[in-house]
């Protein structure tokens, strides 16, 4: 059984900007902060196989912001191999969110330590079936789900004899204070007492009160989007730079 307690998930997402060197710099800086604070961290990628994930009729629809973002930040599997090795060499755990079934096969081939189910994929049953067959520890997020949906996921993964944990998540980017709903941690702890409950955060990276409250309520793992600003690259409103991440850990 994987020990999900005291795990910090650091999500690179598309903040590598499709630039291998920039991504390696993020891994190096993140590793330094993780080691300085004696943190048990999992560095997380996101996989989408864009040739099949995006419908053929929409491949060139640059006016659609998500497609434009995915296409502009696409990395080859060779480059992801370089990044995966860099994370391993930095003594961080490797983690990945697949958004399609073919990405699950790649995750298995890489031998990632943990697999993540994104909130938006929580009803994608073909994908969930594929993930459940990997024998890789699973974390799933609950953003946008009703309790009955979470019950269905818990029942499914238990039936499949999967090793899994649950992240309370609010799918608002960034999340205003009034919408963090941290009392949901109590609900999840009481409803699934044998499962580790965490807090996946999208609030302002300058704020640390939310994680303090989450800890006090019994959350045992945490997730944060991370990146690095340069003269040309600015982070979104919910991703932490190295200084904010250091403060968040502390």
Euclidean distance between CA atoms 91 and 31, whole angstroms: 8
Parallel/antiparallel/unpaired status of strands 7-11 and 138-141: unpaired
Q: What is the pLDDT of residues 99-158, one digit of tens each?
A: 999 999 999 999 999 999 999 999 999 999 999 999 999 999 999 999 999 999 999 999
What lies within 8 Å, CB to CB, of 36 at 6+ separation is 246
Q: What is the pLDDT of residues 38-87, one digit of tens each?
A: 999 999 999 998 888 888 888 888 888 888 888 888 999 999 999 999 99
- Give the pLDDT of residue 21: 97
Query: What mean pLDDT comes out for the span 23-29?
Result: 98
- Give the pLDDT of residue 119: 93
Q: In which band, very low, low, confident or very high, does the pLDDT at 96 lie, cut at 50, 70 and 90? A: very high
Whether 221 and 5 have beta carbons less than 8 Å apart is answered as yes
- Give the pLDDT of residue 61: 84
Whether 190 and 217 have beta carbons less than 8 Å apart is answered as no
Question: What are the strands, taking DSSP E only, across the chain?
Answer: 7-11, 40-47, 93-98, 114-117, 138-141, 164-169, 197-200, 221-226, 239-240
CB atoms within 10 A of CB 215: 13
Q: Of residues 68 and 16, which shows the higher confidence score?
A: 16
């Amino acid at each position: 059984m994987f020990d999900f307690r005291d795990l910090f998930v650091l999500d690179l997402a598309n903040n590598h900007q499709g630039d291998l060197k920039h991504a390696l710099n993020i891994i190096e800086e993140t590793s330094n902060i993780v080691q300085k604070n004696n943190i048990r961290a999992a560095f997380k990628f996101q996989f989408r196989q864009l040739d099949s994930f995006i419908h053929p009729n929409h491949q060139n629809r640059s006016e659609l912001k998500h497609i434009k973002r995915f296409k502009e930040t696409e990395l080859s599997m060779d480059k992801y191999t370089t990044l995966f090795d860099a994370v391993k060499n930095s003594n961080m755990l490797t983690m990945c969110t697949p958004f399609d079934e073919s990405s699950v096969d790649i995750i298995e081939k890489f031998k990632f330590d943990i697999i993540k189910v994104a909130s938006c994929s929580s009803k994608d049953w073909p994908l969930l079936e594929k993930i459940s067959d990997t024998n890789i520890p699973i974390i799933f997020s609950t953003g946008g789900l009703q309790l009955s949906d979470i019950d269905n996921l818990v029942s499914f993964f238990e039936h499949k004899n999967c090793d899994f944990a649950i992240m309370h998540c609010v799918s608002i980017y960034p999340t205003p204070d009034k919408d963090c709903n941290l009392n949901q941690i109590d609900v999840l702890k009481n409803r699934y007492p044998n499962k580790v409950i965490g807090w996946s955060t999208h609030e302002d990276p300058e704020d640390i009160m939310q994680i303090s409250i989450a800890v006090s309520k019994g959350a045992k793992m945490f997730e944060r989007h991370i990146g690095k600003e340069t003269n040309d690259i600015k982070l979104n409103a919910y991703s932490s730079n190295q200084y904010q991440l250091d403060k968040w850990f502390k």
